[in-house]
Every structure is written in C-alpha cells, then in structure tokens.
Amino acid sequence: MSTQVLSEELKERIRKVRLVMVDNDGVMTDGRIIYGDNGDELKFFDVQDGFGLVLLRRAGYKTVMISGKKSRVNKRRAKDLQISGVYQNAFDKLAVFETVAKKYKVKPEQICYIGDDLIDLPPMKRAGFSVAVPEAVEDVLKAAHYVTLKRGGRGAIREVVDLLLKTQGQWAEVTSRYFR
C-alpha cells in the first residue's frame, strides 16, 4: 500500500466502494500501443495489476474495463481476468458510467473510477472515489481524490486494490490463503 496519509474523508469515500471502473490505455496499460507489420496490436499489462483485479473479484466487487478504443487485446485481457464488464469505443464515458451503475445496482458514490485523460473527467467527477495515475493530464490530476504513486500499467491498479481492501478491512480474508 502507498505511504500516502489518507484523510478521514478519503477513507470514508473508499469504504463505500463496491465497483471499480478502470480506463484501459494509460491505466491498465502503460499507454503504449505497438503495431506490428501484420496488423497486430501489442499492449503492455502489469501482472500484479491483473492479480489485484482477481483479488477484487474474490472480495465480491464488480470490475469494469472502459476504453475509448476497440481492441481484441482489451477483450482478451478482460476475459483472462474475468472482468465483469467491458465497454469499448466508449467516447461518452459518463453515459457508460451511468449504464454500469444501473446494471450493477450501485450508486455513483459506490464507484471507484481510475483514469488518466480528459475523456475520463466526466465519470471521475461523478464517482465517489476518483483516482488518477501520476502521468495523467493536469486536469485529471486536479479532479482526482487520489493520485497513485505507481504508474499506469506499472502497478497503479494494484495500489488502488490494496488500498480498497485494506481500508475496508477485507485484506486479511481475501489474501489468507497466501499466508498459511
């Protein structure tokens, strides 16, 4: 977990979270997209971030991947991690946010949204707990309730997962099988 000191107000926001929405490019990945000569698209995902999303699922959270781009790679990663919902070509991320809230029967204050660019601002402003990665654009950094110490695609999601589970008192139960 980060060494950042959390205010009581921030802890209260975190305690309400039941669903985590993550932007893909720049949050789940490091933001780089590599195109191969054969039209292949390559992205870099962090294994610990992925395992963090698995831990969230085990703790009963819903997880949602949202991307302004459509990619087979995104869909494959979401399937591998058993992410609850995947929304691609999402140019109106606030509309997706509202759809997700309704579908999973959660209030906006029960959603953690992790983003990095301007397209993420509208749902970040609605979310009960909004998070930015440190390389996010300035306006996103200003709008976030929390800025991770780890970079997008390099442990930021895992940092948030650990923060959620520990602040909500679920860490010991969810991870007990690893401390036998």
pLDDT score recorded for residue 1:
43
In this model, does residue 2 exceed pLDDT 60?
no
pLDDT tens digits for range 20-76: 999 999 999 988 888 888 878 888 899 999 999 999 999 999 999 999 989 888 899
pTM for the model stands at 0.94
In SS3 terms, 111-136 reads as: EEEEECCHHHHHHHHHCCEEEECCCC
State the pLDDT at residue 38.
Answer: 83
Kindly report the CA angle at 137 between 132 and 140, in degrees rounded to 5?
Answer: 45
The H-assigned helical ranges of the chain are 8-16, 47-58, 72-81, 93-103, 121-126, 138-143, 156-167, 171-175
The pLDDT mean for the chain works out to 94
HSE-CB for 8 with a 13 A CA cutoff: 0
| Cβ atoms within 10 Å, residue 176 | 9
Closest CA to 50 of 28, 25, 21: 28
Contact 161, 177 (CB under 8 A): no
